[in-house]
Amino acid sequence: MKNLLYGSIILLLLFTNVSNSFCQNDYKERNWQIEVEPSLFLLKGYSFQIGRYLTESKRLNMALYSAAGNVPEILKQNIFSNLEVTDDLRIGLQIALNTRYRFNVFKDKESNPYVGLITGWEYFSLNNSVKEELRIDVLLLTPYVGAEIYLYQNILYVNPQLRLVTYLNTKYSIKNRVEKVNSVLFLPQISLGIRF
């Protein structure tokens, strides 16, 4: 129920901002962006990022990012070692600063590739019906490459990325458990965004 409420609020904000953006004729005046990762809604979670271009050339962008959700089966073994099949793994919360530098490869288009860096903190919650819940706090440093591909009037875009997630300073709530966080992970991701 809580996820439905958060999802509804985010969708309302997105649609409100998209409709306001249609009123602006000059897309170069749109300095703000909002992005969501639809896959996390399917995994009983959310993601939300709000950012702003810091330069007039619209190349440097900084954003605040937050996410939570269940970790899919195909990623569990890549993130952790020594997991059991019955373990439930969830990202309890991630809060990060996302910095992007966009290259002006296609001179007359807004759709262009970029490099970025996500720095922040997150915690995992590992549950098993037999063992006590394990909480793992990590700092993360994630360089990535991607592209903003605009679909509609330089407002609505899709954002494919390839991230190299690096976990640092791992802290476990229970010291003698065998489950351990792997330090590096390649993670493809797709988000949807609007520029307003």
- How confident is the prediction along the chain (196 residues), in pLDDT tens digits per residue? 566 556 556 655 555 554 554 454 555 678 999 999 999 999 999 999 999 999 988 899 999 999 999 999 989 989 999 988 888 999 999 999 999 999 989 877 788 999 999 999 999 999 988 889 999 999 999 999 999 999 988 899 999 999 999 999 999 999 988 999 999 999 999 999 999 8
Cβ burial, residue 81 (10 Å; 0-12/13-18/19+): exposed
Amino acid symbol at 168: L
Write down the pTM of the prediction: 0.85
Q: Are 34 and 21 in contact (CB under 8 A)?
A: no
* Domain 2-195 annotated CATH 2.40.160.20: yes
Query: What b/e string do you get for 121-158 counting C-beta neighbours within 10 Å, with b at 16 or more?
Result: ebbbbbebeeeeebebebebebebebbbebeeebbebe
Domain spans of the chain, in order of start: 2-195
Alpha-carbon distance values, 142 to 47, 51, 148, 151 (Å): 16, 17, 18, 27
